[in-house]
A and B are shown apart, each in its own frame.
Chain A
Amino acid sequence: MMEVIDFPPGLTHYLSLGALLFVLGLVGFLSRRNMILMFLNAELMIQGVALNFVAFARHRGNLEGQGFVLFLLAVAACEAAIALALILVLYRTQHSLDVSVWQNLREEGLDPTLDEEPLPLGPLEEKSPVLTPAGIGPQQPEETSHV
């Protein structure tokens, strides 16, 4: 058996980092309501899993893990294409990216969740920067010559 050397970025470190990325994606997927952001969060979870695969491939010293990440990429690309197509169709029917407008798809007997707090009415329209008017030069003192 080999001796125990524990360099700081060992397998455990990479696995922990992958787990944290996965969990952040999970939290985002559960709590965000924009459909596009939900799918972006799913992609974040896939990134965490891919990191795990690559770390294991390195740890075991073979390339099956890396090959698997390629399939992960292919599946993620398919998922993104289908998901975006579906989101486009859903947006065309309801004109909103909010998933909560599709609450009627829930199982029967569940009350719809209503949002109680009002949204801020703040002017989200950001002001365009105002440039100083150009085209007219500032007034100069008249030039005099003594030739």
Chain B
Amino acid sequence: MELFAASQPGLLRMDYFFALALGALGIYLLLPKPKGKTSLLGSLAALGSLAWLGYLGFSPTGITIETGLFYLFGFFALVGAGLMVTQTNPARAAISFVLVVICVGGLMLLLAAPFLMAANMIVYAGAIVVTFLFVLMLASQRAPSDSDNRSREPALACFTGLALSASLILLLQRDQENANKGMGQWKGLGAPVAAVRLHQEENLRRDASGRPHSPADNTTFLGQTLYTSLLLPVELAGALLLVATVGAILIAQRRSGVEVMP
């Protein structure tokens, strides 16, 4: 009860909930089932929910190019994620995941993180998805199989997703509205991003002597952060990668039979 007592007063808007429920219904209809899925109705519901959510989150004041790009990348990221969750063909699901990664990369670019965009795409689209595709090739199945054409408790899974997403998004939206009204204790979350953003970006773009950097200096700053305040985690991450590499090789080794060294 402490949690509820600490929360601020404010209006929880139910239209967000209904939009999310429509999306959950769409995902439920689209999840693979042995009887065949109702693709048309499900995709209509999912796309309708996306459009509704976009409309609810849209405010006509201060439209910039950033707004358009955010909606573009966000739309395709969510569509790719939905496709990935509902595809019966795992290879196509992996390709949809690449679409998600590319769109998240675009969003990172909007958030002034060009280095992370590149790193994210190289690591995910370049390495992880390719490895996934290799394993899929090793274990490909032609006929309809239990693993691809069945879902485990799709209704319960969609309900869980609806509960989590509704609680997250309703709370976020209420905090935003409270901050817009100038009330609420959690100023850090709902505080006007744009005003803070311009000010702090100016600080980021200048070095100690006050000379402005180019925006592409994000990598320099990131490197400075990594090797000053985050030095210990960097070493730990390196150790973790080494251990994981050795472990993966050991696990995937064939133990039975005679070992033949080439």
Interface residues of A (CB under 8 A from B): 2-17, 19-28, 30-37, 39-41, 43-44, 47, 50-51, 54-55, 57-64, 66-67, 69-71, 73-82, 84-89, 91-92, 96-100, 113, 115, 117-122, 124-125
Contact = CB atoms under 8 A, between A and B. Distances in A.
B48 interface: no
Interface in B92-146: 93-94, 97, 100-101, 104, 107-108, 110-113, 115-116, 119-120, 123-124, 127-128, 131-132, 135-136, 138-139, 141-146
Contacts of B173: 12, 16
A105 to B, nearest CB: 15
28 contacts: A2-B199, A3-B192, A6-B193, A7-B66, A7-B67, A8-B67, A12-B172, A16-B57, A17-B74, A19-B168, A30-B160, A31-B151, A36-B139, A37-B93, A40-B90, A40-B94, A59-B197, A64-B229, A66-B225, A76-B128, A77-B123, A80-B128, A84-B131, A85-B249, A85-B251, A86-B251, A98-B147, A124-B142
A71 B237 contact: yes
Contacts of A36: 90, 132, 135-136, 139
Given A30-B153, A87-B135, A44 B84 contact: yes
B152 A31 contact: yes
B78 A43 contact: no
Interface residues of B, number: 115
Q: Is the interface of B mostly helix, strand, loop or mixed?
A: helix
B78 A11 contact: no
Contacts of A67: 222, 225-226, 230, 233
Contacts of A59: 193, 196-197
